[in-house]
Structure 1
Amino acid sequence: MSSALTRRESRPPRGDGLRRWVALAAVLTVAGIAPVALAGSASAADVALPTAGLKYVAIGDSYSSGLGIGTVNPDVPSDCGQSLDNFPHQLAANLGLDLTDVTCSGAQAENLTTVPQPVNGSTVPVQTAALDASTDVVTITVGGNGLKFTTVAAACAAATANGPLVGPGLGALTSCQQIPGIAALPSRIPLLGQVIGATYAAVRAAAPNAKIFVLGYPSIAPDAADLPAGGSCFSPVTQPGGFPFTDADTPFLHTIEQTLDDTVQTQAEAAGFTYVPTFAESRGHSACAPAAESYVNGVFVDFTVPTSPVIDEKSLHPNANGVGFMAQLAETAVAKAFPVVAPQPTATPTPTVTPEPSVSPVAPDPSTTAAAPVPAADAGNGSSALAATGVFAPMLIAVGVFAFLAVLAGAGMMVARRRLQRG
């Protein structure tokens, strides 16, 4: 018999080793050892949205109500201009919040806290009446109506980039900064800041347990860095959605809004609220930007009565892109305040080991030479010494089966070797 044949026949048949390991894995699985690695693993599907079902109240002015955007809420007085597509509704839908929306166009600080707001020939309650100790989330925009910014914009409308103004009785002026009341606006903002601060204090008192988010106002007039080529944003007042402000008044309007936004931020942070910045973030998306890129409407004017033009209320308010922009920033801020907490993995319980009772040594009886019988407590469940070390029955079974298979393999090899020697 050739040595090559001897080597071939003494080698275990192909697949025997695999079958042995499969058998061992099956024994271990039955014994409960293999599944330990999978115990307590958490699936992503088990992670719930932490904001789902939280009580959310939206308060504020037309920048929250979504004036002129989408579908008007039929359950709210029409003068409030509250849209079902405003940023509070988008925020609630995206985060699963339980929304109460009391926002209303034209609301001033006092309408949020102490003075019911006149709308549709009646009044609506102060907005903080919707808050209570169970409120979880609040969003606010307030302050712009304190400056009557829409009225300011109407007074500043001009015929050309260099004037004159087109408002009734203003034809002799080339800039709205020549109007004393408008020129004094920057000096009024600090006092408005105190009013805003008092409003925030009232909101906190009405919703003591809520996380409160204050949104700024998007950029309406651009700064010098964002002027179009040629350095002028001007478009005539007769152009729907135009920007009819002189080159001198455009930076003035930008500065007023920036000062207001800084004041809102200062008061929000002083109150311990989360400020959601929108002004600098929308700098390149002002009413001067191309329509596809702008977050704010231009000016729409009704010239039905030439001597008394009426500016449409949606003028200089967020358009659909702007509302989506505000919703996105608010969503990011609220989600950050309520982070997802992954469920803790369930720990595999450790087998309880009952220690053997200690027995005081007793001197053997000289008259007795027979071995002591095995205690009944130890019969049938293995050595108590092994149990005390934490070695449990399934592991013993696995080790025993593995050893048994190894012995069988060795015996088979010996029998094969002897047959070869005889042959």
Structure 2
Amino acid sequence: MTDTPAGPGRSGTLVRTALVVLVVVLAGLAALAGAPGPPAPTYARYVALGDSFTAAPFVPVSDIAYGCYRSTNNYPHLVARELRIDDLRDRSCSGAQTADLTGSQRTARGMAVRPQLEALTPETDLVTMGIGANNYRLYARLATVCRKLTTICPLDDQRALFGAILDRLRPALVASIEQVRERAPRARVLLVSYPQLLPDRGDCAKLPRMRPQDRETFRDVNRRLVEEMAAAADEAGVEFVDYYTASHGHDICSARPWVQGRVGNARQAAALHPLPAGQEAVAQLVAARLRTPLER
């Protein structure tokens, strides 16, 4: 018996087999790499709820809206344009509290505005909410009053009052979110926080006159306000947009602020309220979140 050597024919077969396997593997990897992900969500009926940090007075104003002062360049409008949402019902109103979502609001012009939640329907598929800072006149006590004073604004003397107001914010927000879900059960709901207003330390000419301890109280209230909002979103099971963290480095005293200083400008922004750059920034945050499918 003679041995049959492994000649060129057998080795060629092995090489061809290996090449075929390699081609199949590479084709599979290419298919995986090029496989489209889940389609980006689309929205048809968007309702924006909120106060002046949503309405963005004088950015610019095109709708006085009985004293609500809504801008056509506020973040709801920018989001609607970015995501091509034709049906936007912007019910944000300067001075709004959570109670004004379900009750009639009396604006600074002395006019009555209907409850914001009346804009919701079972067909609403997107809701953004930016509200809470005006409950029990929190923001007025913190910023508006200070802006108008010609003397030092003693915020630190009211620290206990601010704490008591903030203690009541989370349950008020959770109740409001639940009412939104009842009226618009199909809607994707985002709770949008407030930005950072003061720098981490120091002072500047754009701020109201405050003692160092007053500025620290302001920072603490700003920070805790956002923390309560985040906790409320978690408890109610809706998405939270952390505008506060994103705005770090864009406080009132910064070179590129997202909030106006103590002196307002009727062609740019109300005093201690959102600037156009800030509305553009929060709009990008919201739009980026909305392009991602909601995990259930």
1:128 and 2:117 aligned: yes
Partner of 2:203: 233
Partner of 1:80: 68
Question: What is the TM-score normalised by the length of structure 1?
Answer: 0.56
Could you list the runs of 4 or more consecutive aligned residues of structure 1 that deviate by over 6 angstroms after TM superposition? none
Find the aligned partners of 1:49 and 1:84 in 2 and give their Cα distance: 25
Partner of 1:148: 138
1:106 and 2:95 aligned: yes
Q: Contact 1:133/1:209 (CA < 8 Å) preserved in 2?
A: yes
State which drifts further: 257-266 or 215-224. 215-224
Q: Could you say what the CA RMSD is over the residues aligned between the two structures, in angstroms?
A: 2.7
Partner of 1:396: none
1:246 and 2:202 aligned: no
Q: Contact 1:64/1:86 (CA < 8 Å) preserved in 2?
A: yes
Partner of 1:316: 272
Residue number among 155, 158, 161 corresponding to 1:176 in the alignment: 155
Q: Contact 1:234/1:246 (CA < 8 Å) preserved in 2?
A: no
Structure 1 runs not aligned, ≥5 long: 1-46, 158-165, 225-231, 236-240, 303-312, 340-423
CA offset digits 1:307-344 (Å, max 9, x no partner): xxxxxx812111011000110101011111369xxxxx
Find the aligned partners of 1:317 and 1:54 in 2 and give their Cα distance: 29
The 3 A distance-change label for structure 1 pair 175 and 85 is same
CA offset digits 1:71-102 (Å, max 9, x no partner): 423xx624101011110000000001121111
The 3 A distance-change label for structure 1 pair 71 and 167 is closer
1:167 and 2:146 aligned: no
1:183 is displaced (CA, Å) by 4.2
1:1-400 matched pairs, under 5 angstroms: 50-51=41-42, 54-73=44-63, 77-97=65-85, 98-113=87-102, 115-119=103-107, 120-146=109-135, 147-156=137-146, 167=149, 175-178=154-157, 180=158, 182-224=159-201, 232-235=202-205, 241-290=206-255, 293-300=256-263, 314-337=270-293
Q: Contact 2:252/2:259 (CA < 8 Å) preserved in 1?
A: yes
Find the aligned partners of 1:188 and 1:151 in 2 and give their Cα distance: 11
Find the aligned partners of 2:225 and 2:154 in 1 and give their Cα distance: 21
The 3 A distance-change label for structure 1 pair 262 and 242 is closer
The 3 A distance-change label for structure 1 pair 72 and 245 is farther
Matched residues, number: 255
1:206 is displaced (CA, Å) by 1.0
Say which structure, 1 or 2, has more relative contact order (CA 8 Å, 6+ apart): 2
Instruction: Provide the secondary structure at the position in 1 that maps to 2:271.
Output: coil
Partner of 2:31: none
1:289 is displaced (CA, Å) by 1.0
Choose 1 or 2 for highest CA Rg: 1
Structure 2 runs not aligned, ≥5 long: 1-37
